Amino acid sequence: MRSESALVLTPTDIHNIRRYVQQKYADLPKERHAEIIDDAMRRIVLKQIPEFPSEVKHALTGKLLQEVVHMQQRAVGNDHIFAACLTLDLTDSGLSEPLHSWTEQRLQSSIAARRFHELVQEALTSADAGDCMDSEKIWNAFRSRIRSDAPVGLAAEEEPMGKLADIVPLPVMRSLRLRPIGYALLSSLLVLGMLVYAWTIYRPTAPAKPPSSAVLNPPAAPLPAKPEDGLPLELRYQDVNRHKLADYLKAKNSLLVEHSYMETIISVAKKYDIHPLLLFAITGQEQGFIPKDQKQAKKIVNNPFNVYNSWRKYNTTLEESASIAARTVNRLSKARPADMNPFTWINREYAEDPNWWKGVSSLFTTMKRQVGTSAEQ
């Protein structure tokens, strides 16, 4: 049975996230609730993944949420992460080394590299060639082997005498084990090694040359960071994959999936150098992407950004309301402090709800991940 400390996404976390979203965003469709909840859980798990390349971390996070949280209805633990990592190509040092460091941190143990690789191979075998369904059993077995290793184990053998390992090859040292004559020879080598090592440290050296005047000059003081003026690069215009965008909107039963509406927003975004998905995300936050079965959908689509307070008070055309929203976002983005989240900075005037930015940011991130760019068509 897992302890709470062995979990990275606990049942309490999941319960609190769901309750908060249901209360805070009660007016939004259930589909939006699911997206916000999923994004919050994704952020928690992502921080607990070993320091793999970004795309690997995101892929593993998605796998864990899908297989553990959604399919098994369970909390995510260290064992799930470790088992999921066993599906990677661990012959790649860029993957095995971060997993090694992560495992040492989680078990609070120092594990020699060779021993770690041996135990990973054992875990792979017990996982039945990559089937990580019984993750708890695999993790517990791995942890038990680490803890049961003798004090003088492989870790001690790999670095038996510090610098002496560079003088006496490891196979030679192992061949001397348990032989009296070997101990005598090893002692002699140890003394010799210490003398050589001491000589390399204390041997006289030529006086160092004085540093050049250029080195003595202190470096110029760095210029103060300038505040970001306008939208950051990641929120500026770029073409999006229209097919995937249509699929995303269709899954929301959104009226905006209609060609004329979708192209109008994209065209306005290009005109004002704003990422199209940012404008779509605002419609998602304000009007849940305008479900087709909503009674007033044909009127709401004229102002799904709620410019000038709401679509009821200002019912114009989609092109005009999108243009007003785009100009407003550009205006509110100016003079943003360098350490300020751009969504939070826009929120200060765009919406009365201080948490508006969280919904827009979450939707934008989700859409970028699912829709992608035109190059990915």
Least confident of 189-193, 209-213, 245-249, 263-267: 209-213
In-domain check, residue 334: yes
- Average pLDDT rounded to a whole number, residues 57-61: 87
Percent of the chain with pLDDT over 70: 73
Banded pLDDT at 214 (limits 50, 70, 90) = very low
- Average pLDDT rounded to a whole number, residues 41-62: 87
Full DSSP string of 134-187? SHHHHHHHHHHHHHHS-SSSHHHHHSTTGGGGGTS-HHHHHHTTT-HHHHHHHH
In-domain check, residue 290: yes
For residue 186, pLDDT beyond 80: no
In-domain check, residue 197: no
- Looking at the structure, do residues 184 and 291 belong to the same domain, yes or no? no
For residue 245, pLDDT beyond 80: yes
Banded pLDDT at 6 (limits 50, 70, 90) = low
Least confident of 65-79, 242-256, 260-274, 309-323: 65-79
For residue 190, pLDDT beyond 70: no
φ, ψ dihedrals at 220, nearest 5° = -65, 140
Q: What is the CATH number of the domain that holds 305?
A: 1.10.530.10
- Looking at the structure, do residues 103 and 244 belong to the same domain, yes or no? no
What is residue 184's predicted lDDT score, i.e. its pLDDT? Answer: 56
Q: Tell me, what amino acid is at 345?
A: W
Cα angle vertex 224, ends 220, 228, to 5°? Answer: 140
- Looking at the structure, do residues 32 and 127 belong to the same domain, yes or no? yes
Q: What does pLDDT average to over the chain?
A: 78
Chain Cα centroid distance, residue 66: 16
- Looking at the structure, do residues 12 and 116 belong to the same domain, yes or no? yes
In-domain check, residue 201: no
| 245: its two tokens | 């965008």
Please indicate whether residue 71 or residue 369 has the higher confidence score (pLDDT): 369
What is residue 226's predicted lDDT score, i.e. its pLDDT? Answer: 40
- Looking at the structure, do residues 10 and 151 belong to the same domain, yes or no? yes
Question: pLDDT (tens digit, 9 = 90+) per residue, 353-368?
Answer: 889 999 999 999 999 9
Domain stops at, among 155, 176, 201: 155
- Looking at the structure, do residues 128 and 256 belong to the same domain, yes or no? no
Alpha-helical runs (H) found in the chain: 11-24, 30-46, 54-64, 78-85, 93-107, 113-126, 135-148, 154-158, 170-175, 180-202, 213-216, 242-251, 259-271, 276-287, 297-300, 318-332, 342-350, 356-371
In-domain check, residue 220: no
In-domain check, residue 171: yes
- Looking at the structure, do residues 356 and 247 belong to the same domain, yes or no? yes
What is residue 196's predicted lDDT score, i.e. its pLDDT? Answer: 54
Structurally, the chain folds into a number of domains equal to 3
Percent of the chain with pLDDT over 90: 32
pTM here is 0.43
| 116: its two tokens | 């770690």
What is residue 171's predicted lDDT score, i.e. its pLDDT? Answer: 44
What is residue 127's predicted lDDT score, i.e. its pLDDT? Answer: 62
DSSP assignment letter at 336: B
- Average pLDDT rounded to a whole number, residues 276-303: 95
Q: At what angle do helices 242-251 and 259-271 cross, to 10 degrees?
A: 120
- Average pLDDT rounded to a whole number, residues 225-246: 82
- Looking at the structure, do residues 77 and 165 belong to the same domain, yes or no? no
Least confident of 130-134, 172-176, 371-375: 172-176
- Looking at the structure, do residues 85 and 167 belong to the same domain, yes or no? no
- Looking at the structure, do residues 328 and 366 belong to the same domain, yes or no? yes
In-domain check, residue 136: yes
What is residue 189's predicted lDDT score, i.e. its pLDDT? Answer: 60
What is residue 193's predicted lDDT score, i.e. its pLDDT? Answer: 59
In-domain check, residue 196: no
- Average pLDDT rounded to a whole number, residues 140-158: 61
- Average pLDDT rounded to a whole number, residues 116-140: 73
Question: pLDDT (tens digit, 9 = 90+) per residue, 86-112?
Answer: 888 888 888 889 999 998 888 888 888
Q: At what angle do helices 30-46 and 54-64 cross, to 10 degrees?
A: 130
How far apart, in Å, are the Cα atoms of 268 and each of 276, 320, 327, 360?
8, 9, 10, 18
- Looking at the structure, do residues 102 and 164 belong to the same domain, yes or no? no
- Looking at the structure, do residues 276 and 140 belong to the same domain, yes or no? no
Taking the C-alpha atoms of residue 269 and residue 263, their distance in angstroms, rounded to an integer, is 10
What is residue 343's predicted lDDT score, i.e. its pLDDT? Answer: 94
Parent domain of 174 = 160-191
Contact 242, 367 (CB under 8 A): no
